Amino acid sequence: MSAPVLTVALNPALDQTITLDRLRLGEVHRARSVRIDAAGKGVNVASCLADWGVATAVTGVLGAGNATAFDALFAAKQIADGFVRRPGDTRTNVKLLDLEAADTTDINLPGLVVDGADFDAVRARLLAHSTAGSIVVLAGSLPAGLADDSYARLIAELAARGVRCVLDTSGAPLVAALDAPRDALPYAVKPNRHELEAWAGRALSTQAELIAAARELQTRGIVLVAISQGADGALFLRGDEIVQAKPLSVAVGSTVGAGDAMVAGLTAALLAEASLEDLARLATAFAAAKLGCDGAHLPPREQVLALAKQVQIQRLDREADRRSKAQAFPLLPPREGWG
């Protein structure tokens, strides 16, 4: 199962995507189409990385009763399967795709109850197959039965081995991981505005407030912070650098998995030791490229690279420097008579 990137999907799902002309509450609908995909955030990240050509392994807890779609995906994309299988069925998530509104309504059903033995088996596989310099992506919600600090515990052990952990989760598991000691923090995180507000305990209504909260995470010891902002693009902070990537205007097939594709692009850029600007371009291009695909898949590599070249990057660190200097040395209007 050894690979440069391992992804963790403790709460995977079968995504049942139902396409409707328009979603109307309380009415009977005739679906245009329905499709079922092996999914869950960790699986989606692995799928996009495999499309990009990155050797990827995935682990987590999978129900043995309905694993066929997962088996087919892993075989088709040559993703190393490190899942712990247990009796029962993996949960199903229903996605109602409204074509008129270009929006998706999610109904996430309950899944397996995972116990300590399952968690320990996943932990053992992660520790056996990760080495210093490798990247582990921990993504998605935690299943019933696991404590809120489960990601934090995994990250602490992996970080001690020199593994770079990328975390994409929300709620209490995110707060627990971000409040860990400095040497047990993830290397990179990708919250959205609401997830970051939940950790910060305050509203983050402006870009300056978002950046200030991200700086707090950096001060704690997180190297890379990416904040997804939907229609406003995404912010990326590393060291003293801050860049904003503007979203691309592309035809939307399905928004399902776009955030996971961004995490995959960020991870691929980390593997390539890319500059922050190039990382922002690739992460944004992955998300945009996925929008044209059903399910968590990418088009051919050249199409993704073409999109990456179109991503507009704004450097906010230089603007911040200019504002700081302007405040310290304000520009005065010329006096009358000065030539």
Catalytic machinery residues = 260
Owner of token pair 């860990």: 180
Please give the Cα distance from 74 to 80 (Å, whole number). 7
Using the structure block, give the residue that is written with the tokens 């001060």: 219
Residue 64 Cα to chain centre, angstroms: 26
The answer to whether the CB of 279 falls within 8 A of the CB of 298 is no
CA distances from residue 166 to 72, 74, 194, 236 in whole angstroms, order as listed: 26, 21, 19, 14
Contact 257, 287 (CB under 8 A): no
Q: CA 78, CA 109: separation in Å to the nearest integer?
A: 28
CA distance 245 to 242: 10
CB-based contact 208:215 (threshold 8 Å): no
**Token pair of 180, please?**
């860990």
Query: CA dist 312 to 71, 183, 238, Å?
Result: 38, 35, 18
For residue 175, give the 3-state DSSP assignment.
helix
**Is residue 48 a contact partner of residue 262, using CB atoms and an 8 Å limit?**
no
Strand 241-245 and strand 234-238: the pairing is: antiparallel
By the 8 A CB rule, do 224 and 188 touch? yes
The amino acid sitting at 210 is L
Give backbone dihedrals phi and psi of 151, rounded to 5 degrees, phi first: -65, -45
